[in-house]
Amino acid sequence: MHSELPPGTPFHVFLNGPSGDLDPEGPYFVGWISFFGMAGASGHDASYDVTDQVQRLTEQGLLPDGPLTVSIVPSIPQPETRAPKPSFESVSLTSI
């Protein structure tokens, strides 16, 4: 991960289902990433075990057919002029 933002903007991580539900209280919420101490830095890793969540969402018919998408959005809405622009070298999901 890499961010030019000053610390203090946590990001929510979601498995995006067909509804595009980005509610942190909803079934697609995975967790959050904090860039605390990351301004101008890179090389931080975050990982989440989504095995149970994928199974639960699949059983409930809440996941679309095909590949999953990951959404990473600021937890606090930002003005467009200050919109966070973190970058990620890669995102991978593993379900066992």
Count of other CB atoms within 10 angstroms of residue 72: 17
Q: Give me the chain's average pLDDT, please.
A: 74
Tokens of 83: 């919109």
pLDDT at 84 over 60: no
Q: Which of 96 and 24 is assigned the larger pLDDT? A: 24
Domain residue ranges of the chain, discontinuous segments joined by +:
2-82
In this predicted model, what pLDDT tens digit does every residue of 2-18 receive, in sequence order? 555 555 678 888 988 77
Q: Which of 26 and 76 is assigned the larger pLDDT? A: 26
Phi, psi of 80 (to 5 degrees): -55, -35
pLDDT recorded at residue 67:
81
